[in-house]
Amino acid sequence: MLKKHKCPYCGNNPIPHYLNWYFDSLNILFEKLQIGLLANPLARFASKWEDEVALFLIGFGRLCGVIHFGKKPGKTTLSRAKVLWEEAEKRGLEMREVRIFDRSVDTYIVRKPIPWTHKKKIILFSWLPRPKNVNQAALATMDDKWVFKKTCLKNGLPVPDGGYARTYEEARKIFDRIQKPVIVKPRLGSRGRHVVTYVRNHDDLRHAFKIARQLCLWVIVEEQIIGPVYRWTVINYEISGILSGTQPQITGNGEKTLRELIADKNSQRDEWIAEVSINEKMNWFLKRQLSFDGRIDLSDADLTKPWKLSHRDNWNEGLFDTYIPKKGEIVYLSEKIGVSYGGSSAEEFDIAHSDNKALFEKAAKVFGDVIIGFDFMIPDITKSWKEQRCGFLEANSVPFINLHHTPHAGKPRNIASRVWDMIEF
């Protein structure tokens, strides 16, 4: 019997595909127009009054009973805002969440008493607080992976070779000229939604292209770098946190099957790391991973089967009972990264090579914003980036700073404190 299922390519963060495709594609289509409008002197002048207008509208909404202020974080308040709230209370700041029909819209008002007066300094922000003189044009394009890649190349910052495509034919031309395996992903997007790794051949590419294109008209095709993904958070052009994120994985002992090793992993996991579930999507990923480097042999027919998710209970689980990883062999269990997928995270600021820190401070100045989360792949963070194959993957204008506060391993970094220091609150 067919089961109700969520999108396997969105993972734990599902979004409406059609709406996302429409808005992200329009965003890219009108990108240049958007930059021109934001860079216009009239727009810069108008931005001086945007907070006053927004505060007036919020006040009017409160009078109408549509808007109210949350005095404490609620169930739907994002963890990113919670760490800012916690730090704000330590500093004696009054932080309130703007809620429309009792729903969070990730917008906040913060009040700071002005010494020797009865007045308070007020700031209004959505997502993360930034100074008034923020470069809006830079923010408008930072999340576009192709614009990001072009800017990196222009400024001597390492990136995986690749390009963007609107059609499968364009994607195939890029695929044919770059090193394998290949990764395919939407040109706009976050949280690893509809990202496909270990793309090995044209048939893989055709399916991966369709999956990525469900969220955006344009798709990125680039070389896949194997290793942990690092989130480098830069505040006010200074490295503030370096968090590694790994996929859920098992290490073979030459005796146990995949199923037995996964059971062992789940029984030994920390309480707040998600349990890994054997499912059809994992089977699909493992076949592509293990066949790419010759650990298993698949027939031509088998090579196409990983793309056909049946969403039925009776899919073939034979791989989990027959494949025995060699002693020391690492097998990744998912394309997704982090503790919510059964992976891990570690704060590695203290062990990062100085060359790597300098690289990211340079990158922050290139992109011209005071809050950036860079995603970067590098096999060994203790060695200089100049000595290994590595590269920038993307930049995030609204990084989840809370991840540095609660790493699975390593010393936590208080990024919220650095944000409030930057805006002098």
CA nearest to 245, candidates 393, 387, 31, 384: 393
Q: Regarding the domain delimited by 1-48+138-224, which CATH topology (the fold level of the hierarchy) does it fall under?
A: Dna Ligase; domain 1 (3.30.1490)
Quote the pLDDT of residue 127.
Answer: 92
**At 363, which helix (H) or strand (E)?**
helix 354-367
What is the C-alpha separation between 70 and 67, in angstroms, rounded? 10
Phi and psi (nearest 5°) for 122? -120, 135
Residue 277, classed as helix, strand or coil, is: coil
Percent of the chain exceeding pLDDT 70 equals 91
Region at 156 (left for phi over 0; alpha for psi -120 to 50; beta for the rest): left
The angle, 0 to 180 degrees and rounded to 10, between the axes of the packed helices 79-90 and 415-422 is 70
CA nearest to 70, candidates 93, 112, 100, 90: 100
CA nearest to 245, candidates 257, 233, 258: 233
Domain extents in the chain: 1-48+138-224, 50-131, 225-247+336-425, 251-334
User: Which parts of the chain have pLDDT scores under 50?
Assistant: 1-4
What is the C-alpha separation between 309 and 230, in angstroms, rounded? 30
CA nearest to 419, candidates 12, 5, 81, 47: 81
pTM: 0.86
Quote the pLDDT of residue 39.
Answer: 60
* CATH topology agreement for domains 1-48+138-224 and 225-247+336-425: no
DSSP annotation of 150 reads H
pLDDT in tens, 59-73: 999 999 999 999 999
DSSP annotation of 226 reads P
What is the C-alpha separation between 193 and 172, in angstroms, rounded? 21
CA nearest to 333, candidates 384, 273, 390: 273
Encoded tokens for 385? 């980036």
DSSP annotation of 424 reads T
Please, which contacts does 31-36 make with residues 24 or more away whose CB atoms are closer than 8 Å? 31/140, 31/141, 31/144, 31/147, 34/140, 35/137, 35/140, 35/141
Quote the pLDDT of residue 142.
Answer: 79
- Please list the alpha-helical segments (H only) found in 195-337: 202-212, 258-268, 280-292, 300-304, 318-322
Quote the pLDDT of residue 1.
Answer: 37
CA nearest to 222, candidates 191, 181, 193, 190: 181
**Looking at the domain that runs over 225-247+336-425, which CATH code has it been given?**
3.30.470.20
> Which residue is listed with tokens 């995986």?
160
Q: How many angstroms separate the Cα of 78 from the Cα of each of 103, 210, 327, 394, 403?
A: 12, 31, 41, 22, 12
